[in-house]
Amino acid sequence: MPCSAVTLSIATISAIIATALLVIAFSTDNWLHYEVKRNNIQAFASKHSDADDLFNSMNNKYYYYTRTRGLFRVCFPKERPPPTAVPTYLSPIETHCSNVDYFPNWDNEKTSNEDANSRLHLARSCVALFMISFLTIFCAFWTGLSGCWKRSGGAITATSILLLASCLLAAGAMGLWHTVEFFEKEKVVGEDYYQQWNTVLRDNTKISYDWSYIIAWTAIGVCLVAAILLSGAAICLRNEREKEEQLNLQYLMPVYSQKQPPYPPYASYPQPQIYPTPYYHGSQYGPYNY
C-alpha cells in the first residue's frame, strides 16, 4: 500500500478527532471546578457572633456555591443558589446554569477599572480566536477533500498549513484563557473572583482544572499531529507521482527525424545508374517468339 494512502488515512482520522474534541471543549462548562465547603463556612459563621455579613453572603452570593465554569456558562451541579443571587436555567444536561456576561453594564467605578476591562477584553478575544480556529478547520476540510479526490500534493499541503494555523489559533486562545485566569486570581477584577474573596471563602474553596480544559489541550495536540501527518502525505504523493512519471518514460518510444534521403542517390557520370529489373525466362509477351 502506498505511504500516501496510509498517512492520509491516519491524518484524516486525527483531524476529525481533533475537531470533535475541540467542539466538545468549546461547548461544555467544565473548564474550572470550584469546590466550596459550605459546611465549614457555615460552622465558622455559627461560632462567631460578628459573622453576620459572612452568613448573609453565603446565602446570597453565587460564588459561595460549588460550581463549574466554562467559556459561556457557570453551572451548579450540587446546590443551586437562590434567584436573587443569580438567575439560572436548566441546561441540556439537566444542570442549573447561568450565562457568563461578556457585555456587563458597569455604572460605577467600583466595578470597573483598568484590570477589569483588560480581563473582559481578553476573555472576548479568547472566544473570538476559538471561532476563527473553527473557520480555519472548515476551510481545511474543503481543501483536504479536493486534495484526496485529485491526489494533489499542493492541496494536501494547503490543508496541512490550514490545520497548523487552526492549531496555533486554538493554542493562542488557550493562552488568553490562562491570562484571564491570572487576572482573576491576581488582579482586582470584581468581587466574584479570588482576589476579592474573604479569607474564610479562600480557605474553603478548592479550584481545579476540569475535563473540558484537558480535552481542549488534547484537541490542540491531536490537531498538530494531523497537520504534520498531512505534510508527510503531501511529500509521499509527490514522490509517488515522480516515480510514476519515470515509469511512464520507459514506455515512450523516441521518434527521430530521418536524415538520409528516401531513395538512393544517383551515381555520378560517366558511371551508369544500375536499377535491378526482374529476370524472365523467354518472352512473356504473346506470340513473338524468336
Predicted pLDDT of residue 290: 44
Q: What is the CATH number of the domain that holds 224?
A: 1.20.140.150
- With respect to residue 63, please indicate whether it lies within any of the assigned structural domains: yes
Angstrom distance (rounded) from CA 42 to CA 288: 147
Cross-strand partners of 205? 36
Confidence at residue 270, expressed as pLDDT on a 0 to 100 scale: 54
Q: 3-state class of 74 per DSSP?
A: strand
How much is the pLDDT for 222? 96
Within a domain: residue 276?
no
Cα separation, 159 vs 82, whole angstroms: 50
Segment holding 44, helix H or strand E:
helix 38-47
Check residue 138 and give its pLDDT: 95
Residue 251 lies in a domain: no
Rounded-to-integer distance, Cα 44 and Cα 39, Å: 9
Structure confidence at residue 20 (pLDDT)? 96
For 218-245, the pLDDT digits (tens) are 999 999 999 999 988 888 887 777 777 6
Query: What is the per-residue pLDDT for 182?
Result: 95
Q: In the chain, which residues have pLDDT < 50?
A: 109, 269, 288-290
Q: Looking at the domain assignment, is residue 267 inside a domain?
A: no
Domain assignment present for residue 103? The answer is yes
Does some domain include residue 283?
no
Would you state the pLDDT for residue 4? 63
Give residue 230's domain range: 3-243
Tally of domains within the chain: 1
Amino acid residing at 162 = L
Confidence at residue 107, expressed as pLDDT on a 0 to 100 scale: 58
Contact by Cβ (8 Å): 88, 81: yes
pLDDT value of position 49:
66
Query: Residues 5, 216: contact at Cβ < 8 Å?
Result: no
- Residue at 20 is within a domain: yes
pLDDT at 53: 82
In a domain, 252, yes or no: no
pTM: 0.79
